[in-house]
């Protein structure tokens, strides 16, 4: 059996999320169906981040085992044909037997996009969170820094206790303005992210794992900071309260993107469990 | 009664088109409903271009008469609230009594967007026509020039005879590459359209009127030129044949945008009838 790792991008709008659900189509089922069409084999595809309904991915990583000699690039091209047009396969590689998309992940990066403009963009209703009033992105950035480091993040976890532990480490969080909405990974790769002006506010956050709805709860908590109605110290107190009802609302799924998943060279199992965001 | 003109943008994906249809929601009904919520009045909203199912608009122009003292900016702000998030109102102005959005139009500009890349963009499935093989945009541009001027365009009209006359005048047609998909009018206004490189091929065409499916039939006819399988002379022969079956296929609705409608100062009635595209 070969262990295959693939990086995929998808528009989450039409899906109930990554994972199989009784109430609608999931990305996982679409991917497994495409692999079955290609190989005739029933596979279980594991993903690094179990994205929720309506959440998008630019660089989700998934792995599966197949008994097939098809070269990786052949798998990629065939899957592109068998997948619906809102799921794209960026790359396919063969990895050592002990690689596991979920447990081998070292860190993940999510992005949340707010469209901060007096006018809604009618084309982006499923891809941003629209905020018509002015927001101070620098103030949001500053307040977000209180999240850095290792904390018990249960204040930002829906349905706690959802995991064995709510302790996670955040390595980096940046909030800056951009003049576009990231609807293709190429845009980011092209280095178009240097600006700090424009109608789109991107919150980018990297950590060793994320709890259920954690990024969206963080965004909902930071938003009043941008409006001048909450301070960084208050955000810190919310984090330290370890009480979900102390923190802010959960921001809508539409603005959330799983951008990147990183693994270390040894594919060693990390202590991150299967994450939700 | 005041005569009100508004410029609107919409994502056509969820609509059966501009005009009221029995088989699904139309943009017209959504706009009329919003005006009714605002004024309590039943109005008939007339549009410059009767966009088809799935066709988008960046600068559709519509007009209606109301008996209400609400200032134009107040109308705009209220409509934004009452309209679904995939319809935006760019501006609202009061115009002379004899202005008619449809008949006063002097010229219109449409844009068709092809995403020419080996890989589909999963976020743009309803907003571009994806073509994975290489296309020569300069050759398409050159061949498109045979359309300039006044011709009987019935070779590019679905369901001919659809109009009193199939004669239209094309003022300008350009085909060039861009590195983004136009999902907001601001992007165009910002002068980001100077480049001639990138994965997106924009065909922009301006004329005094367009027949049913005319732009999409033109795109479907020009595409083989980009593949090196059809010459400009052959496109000219297709135009001159005045036979729809001689010309190419109708390109999908997803890539089409009504960009702009221009009126002259006197709002004089033109000979353009109610157009479809």
Cβ-defined contact of B85 to A181 (cutoff 8 Å): no
Q: pLDDT for B159-195, tens place per residue?
A: 877 778 999 999 999 999 988 787 776 555 444 455 6
B24's tokens: 């699904």
In terms of pLDDT, which residue wins out, A20 or B149? Answer: B149
Residue B10 lies in a domain: yes
Same-domain pairing of B54 and B178: no
Please determine, for residue B271, whether its predicted confidence score (pLDDT) is greater than 70. Answer: no
Collapsing DSSP to helix, strand or coil, B218 comes out as helix
**Searching chain A, which residue's CA lies closest to the CA of residue B122?**
A86
Is residue B198 within 8 A of residue B111, CB to CB? The reply is no
Q: Name residues 135-174 of chain A within 8 A of B (Cβ).
A: none
| A152 a catalytic residue | no
Please determine, for residue B239, whether its predicted confidence score (pLDDT) is greater than 50. Answer: yes
B67's tokens: 């008996």
Same-domain pairing of B19 and B133: no
DSSP one-letter code for A73:
H
Residue A210 lies in a domain: yes
Domain of B67, CATH number, reads 3.30.70.580
Q: pLDDT for A189-228, tens place per residue?
A: 444 455 678 899 999 999 999 999 999 999 999 999 999 9
Cα distance between the two ends of chain B: 31
Is residue B145 within 8 A of residue B173, CB to CB? The reply is yes
Q: pLDDT for B199-213, tens place per residue?
A: 999 999 999 999 999
Distance of CA B219 to the CA centre of its chain: 13
ipTM exceeding the 0.90 mark: no
Same-domain pairing of B121 and B243: yes
- Boundary (domain end) residue, out of B95, B117, B144: B95
Residue A275: pLDDT band (50, 70, 90) is very low
Residue A136 lies in a domain: yes
Same-domain pairing of B189 and B228: yes
Residue B276 lies in a domain: no
Q: Which among B120, B121, B183 has the least Cβ separation from residue A123? A: B183
Rounded Cα–Cα distance for residues A124 and B9 (Å): 12
Number of domains in chain A: 2
Cβ-defined contact of A183 to B183 (cutoff 8 Å): yes
Same-domain pairing of B39 and B117: no
Same-domain pairing of A48 and A115: no
Q: Where are the alpha helices (DSSP H) in chain B?
A: 27-39, 72-82, 137-144, 185-189, 214-226, 232-241
Residue A273: pLDDT band (50, 70, 90) is very low
Q: pLDDT for A82-97, tens place per residue?
A: 999 999 999 999 999 9
Same-domain pairing of A111 and A91: no
Burial class (CB in 10 A: 0-12, 13-18, 19+), B21: middle
- Boundary (domain end) residue, out of A95, A129, A145: A95
Same-domain pairing of B83 and B7: yes
Set of chain A residues whose Cβ sits within 8 Å of the Cβ of B86? 122-123, 125
Is residue B28 within 8 A of residue B13, CB to CB? The reply is no
Q: Is A189 on the interface with B (CB under 8 A)?
A: no
Q: Is B256 on the interface with A (CB under 8 A)?
A: no
Residue A72 lies in a domain: yes
Same-domain pairing of A188 and A234: yes
Q: pLDDT for B24-67, tens place per residue?
A: 999 999 999 999 999 999 999 999 999 999 999 999 999 999 99
CB pairs under 8 A between A and B: 66
Residue B270 lies in a domain: no
Residue B100 lies in a domain: no
Residue A274 lies in a domain: no
Q: Which among B56, B85, B187 has the least Cβ separation from residue A120? A: B85
Same-domain pairing of A128 and A30: no
- Boundary (domain end) residue, out of B72, B95, B118: B95
Q: pLDDT for B113-165, tens place per residue?
A: 999 998 899 999 999 999 999 999 999 999 999 999 999 999 999 887 777 89
pTM of the model: 0.90
Same-domain pairing of B85 and B180: no
- Structural domain boundaries enclosing B221: 107-263
Stated as kind and residue range, the H or E segment containing B5 is strand B2-10
Instruction: Please state, as a whole number, how many other Cβ atoms lie within 10 Å of the Cβ of residue A264.
Output: 11
Is residue A62 within 8 A of residue A83, CB to CB? The reply is no
Cβ-defined contact of B87 to A56 (cutoff 8 Å): no
Set of chain A residues whose Cβ sits within 8 Å of the Cβ of B123? 9, 11, 56, 86, 127, 183-184
Q: Is A62 on the interface with B (CB under 8 A)?
A: no
Same-domain pairing of B118 and B48: no
Q: What is the pLDDT of residue B75?
A: 95
């Amino acid at each position: 059996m070969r262990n295959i790792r693939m990086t995929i991008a998808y528009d989450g709008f039409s899906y109930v999320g990554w994972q199989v659900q009784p109430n609608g189509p999931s990305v996982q089922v679409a991917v497994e169906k495409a692999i079955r069409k290609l190989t005739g084999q029933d596979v279980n595809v594991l993903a690094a981040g179990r994205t929720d309904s309506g959440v998008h991915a630019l660089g989700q990583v998934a792995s599966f085992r197949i008994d097939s000699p098809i070269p990786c690039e052949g798998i990629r091209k065939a899957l592109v044909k068998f997948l619906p047009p809102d799921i794209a396969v960026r790359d396919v590689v063969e990895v050592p037997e002990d690689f596991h998309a979920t447990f081998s992940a070292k860190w993940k990066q999510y992005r949340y996009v707010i469209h901060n403009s007096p006018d809604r963009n009618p084309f982006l209703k499923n891809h941003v969170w629209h905020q018509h009033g002015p927001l101070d992105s620098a103030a949001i950035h500053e307040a977000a820094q209180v999240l850095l480091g290792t904390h018990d993040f249960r204040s930002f976890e829906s349905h706690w206790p959802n995991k064995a532990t709510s302790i996670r480490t955040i390595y980096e969080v940046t909030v800056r303005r951009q003049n576009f909405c990231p609807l293709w990974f190429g845009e980011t790769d092209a280095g178009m992210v240097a600006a700090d002006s424009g109608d789109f506010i991107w919150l980018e956050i990297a950590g060793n794992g994320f709890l259920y709805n954690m990024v969206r709860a963080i965004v909902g908590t930071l938003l009043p900071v941008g409006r001048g109605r909450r301070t960084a110290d208050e955000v810190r107190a919310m984090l330290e309260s370890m009480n979900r009802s102390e923190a802010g609302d959960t921001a809508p799924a539409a603005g959330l993107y799983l951008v990147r998943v990183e693994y270390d060279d040894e594919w060693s199992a990390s202590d991150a469990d299967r994450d939700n965001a």
